[in-house]
Homo-oligomer: A and B are copies of this chain.
Amino acid sequence: MASPFGFRLEARSRECQARAGVFRTPHGDVPTPFFMPVGTRGSVKGIHAEDLARVGTRVVLANTYHLHLRPGHETVRELGGLHAFMGWNGPILTDSGGYQLFSLREVTSIDEGGATVKSIVDGTPIRLTPESVVDIQLALGPDVLMAFDHCPADPSAESEVQAATERTHRWLERCVRRWREQGGESDGHALFGIVQGGGFPELRKRSVEAVLTHDLPGYAVGGVSVGEDQRTMQRAVAAATPLLPEDRPRYLMGVGLPRDFLAAIALGIDMFDCVTPTRHGRTHQAFTSRGRINLRNRIWARDDSPLDPSCDCPTCSGYSKGYLRHLAKAGEMLAAILLTLHNLRFFHMLMEQTRAAILADRFEAWRAEVEEMDPVRGDVPA
């Protein structure tokens, strides 16, 4: 049966490994590179599906561990699967719960068979195995499911990272077997393998080789955004991407700042996800083309200009910084909503502009512009 998934390369930078393509899924084609907002519990916090689409979201990420706990994957299946459940007709990617082995490491124990993680709802132990994680994700019914991986914190000793990486390879073997038994990609669900190896380039290379023993619809670079510095992260990506096949999408997990996007895209990455735009929105921080700004700052109190004059989002079209600052100070939930809408648009627009730059073969010039706009400079007067 023909696969409903595919990746078509449309352009490659002559200056670096940056590339533009189209990722084909059962819920539509997605131009790359792209950014996925995080809908941990089946909701991108504060944003309904129509507004998500409106600010340029193409793919949404949802979280296996959290949906397994509540409302339960069988409930989601009964309610028609994640697309019907979330009212989202575009592609959906589910993570595998592997990240929770890192983020909830204080309440997790890992063995060869799988991992036992305490429920954050009621403390009961939740057993996750490569097989159960595939089953849970298939019940949720995303377009893309992720392999179960063991992702150690950074820094960790090389021996620890090596052990976790090799376990990830054995778990991948079991994930792939379970996924193929359940119908594989022709059933509408693409399994992506995850490369580990921490900050050790040699381990990263060996991990790519191990992961590539499986012919999969896409590959991810995991084990980043776990405490490492930017150089370490870039070294990890640089070790992996040249070995990955050109005709599959490449997903860098959990990386979420504009500078890091451009650095990773230069190394050949196509897909990103992170909580940055939504979490920063809820804490009243906005990403703009003139830098990052804190809407609680009193300098905005009487400012009648939009957050970002070069932004086409509903927030910038309809409201002033003075109003947003008032909402933030008054504790109105609309502040979080409008700032999240803007931040999502900023991230999606950054990807759209980056794609256009790659297609025009001027990626490095565009990257310099993005670094110039310095999105971590802090408050800037209008």
Chain A residues within 8 Å of B, Cβ to Cβ: 41-43, 45-50, 70-71, 75, 78-80, 84-87, 301-302, 304, 314, 318-320, 322-323, 325-327, 329-330, 332-334, 336-338, 341
A329 to B85, CA, bound (A): 15
Of all A-B residue pairs in the complex, the 9 with the closest CB atoms, nearest first, are A87-B318, A71-B326, A43-B334, A79-B322, A43-B332, A46-B333, A41-B330, A87-B319, A79-B304
Of the candidates B45, B71, B78, B336, which one forms a contact with A304 in the assembled complex, judged by CB atoms under 8 Å apart?
A: B78
- The answer to whether B337 and A48 touch across the interface, beta carbons within 8 angstroms, is yes
Contacts of A337 in B (CB 8 A): 46, 48, 333, 337
Of the candidates B43, B320, B327, B329, which one forms a contact with A84 in the assembled complex, judged by CB atoms under 8 Å apart?
A: B320
**Complex: chain B residue closest to A78, CB-CB:** B302
Contacts of A320 in B (CB 8 A): 79-80, 84-85
**How many copies of this chain does the complex contain?**
2
**Complex: chain B residue closest to A42, CB-CB:** B326
A198 to B25, CA, bound (A): 65
Contacts of A79 in B (CB 8 A): 302, 304, 320, 322-323
- Would A46 and B334 be within 8 Å (CB), given that A70-B326, A304-B80 are in contact? yes
Contacts of A70 in B (CB 8 A): 326, 329-330
A336 to B301, CA, bound (A): 28
Contacts of A45 in B (CB 8 A): 332-334
Q: How far is the CB of A82 from chain B (nearest CB, A)?
A: 10
Of A41, A43, A304, the most chain B CB neighbours within 10 A belong to: A43
Contacts of A46 in B (CB 8 A): 333-334, 337
- Would A338 and B85 be within 8 Å (CB), given that A43-B327, A70-B330, A332-B41 are in contact? no
**Complex: chain B residue closest to A45, CB-CB:** B333
- The answer to whether B322 and A85 touch across the interface, beta carbons within 8 angstroms, is yes
A79 to B305, CA, bound (A): 9
Contacts of A333 in B (CB 8 A): 45-46, 333, 336-337
- The answer to whether B304 and A75 touch across the interface, beta carbons within 8 angstroms, is no
- The answer to whether B326 and A41 touch across the interface, beta carbons within 8 angstroms, is yes
Q: How far is the CB of A334 from chain B (nearest CB, A)?
A: 4
Contacts of A323 in B (CB 8 A): 42, 79, 85-87
Q: How far is the CB of A379 from chain B (nearest CB, A)?
A: 19
Contacts of A336 in B (CB 8 A): 333
Contacts of A86 in B (CB 8 A): 323
A322 to B70, CA, bound (A): 12
Q: How far is the CB of A291 from chain B (nearest CB, A)?
A: 23
A363 to B341, CA, bound (A): 43
Of the candidates B41, B49, B75, B314, which one forms a contact with A318 in the assembled complex, judged by CB atoms under 8 Å apart?
A: B49
A246 to B206, CA, bound (A): 85
Q: How far is the CB of A342 from chain B (nearest CB, A)?
A: 11
* 18 intermolecular pairs with C-beta atoms under 8 Å apart: A43-B327, A43-B330, A43-B334, A45-B332, A48-B314, A48-B334, A48-B341, A49-B318, A71-B301, A71-B325, A71-B329, A78-B302, A78-B304, A79-B323, A80-B304, A86-B323, A333-B333, A337-B337
- The answer to whether A301 and B75 touch across the interface, beta carbons within 8 angstroms, is yes
